[in-house]
A = this chain, B = another copy of it.
Amino acid sequence: MSSKPQWEAVAEAFVTHYYAVFDADRSQLSSLYREPSMLTFEGTACMGPQAIVQKLVSLPFQKVQHQVVTCDAQPVLPESLNGILVFVNGNLVVDDGGQPLKFAQVFHLMPDQSNPQAFWVYNDLFRLNYG
């Protein structure tokens, strides 16, 4: 394949946007989630935009920066739904603290029925990898 598959381009654009919003003001992430959206953050599960954003806002840091090291993507069955699985590995710098933390995160993106260029997060799983 000479050019990037469409799902990889979507994944990279989504991840760039998601972490830019997260790092600027994570209370603004709710529009990227829907009622059936699920987040499992360090083993704690919650569902729906309100609960998910409440969880993210409650995390014990003020400033945060996500540095994406790798971003892999695959299309998800059935093709009619056009879901995309995104797997990010990267570094997390919090509150200007020294050594970055390593994280891994999975997003399962679904296209907006009324705007197939826009995607929302159906599944979201996050883990820190302690050194």
Q: Which residues on A are within 8 Å of B, measured CB to CB?
A: 36, 38, 40, 43, 45, 70, 72-78, 81, 83, 85, 87, 89, 102, 104, 106, 108, 110, 122-123, 125, 127, 129, 131
Contact = CB atoms under 8 A, between A and B. Distances in A.
A83 to B, nearest CB: 8
Instruction: State the oligomeric state as a number of copies.
Output: 2
A87 B127 contact: yes
Contacts of A131: 131
B85 A125 contact: yes
Contact of A85 (B36, B75, B78, B106): B106
Contacts of A110: 77
Contacts of A45: 74
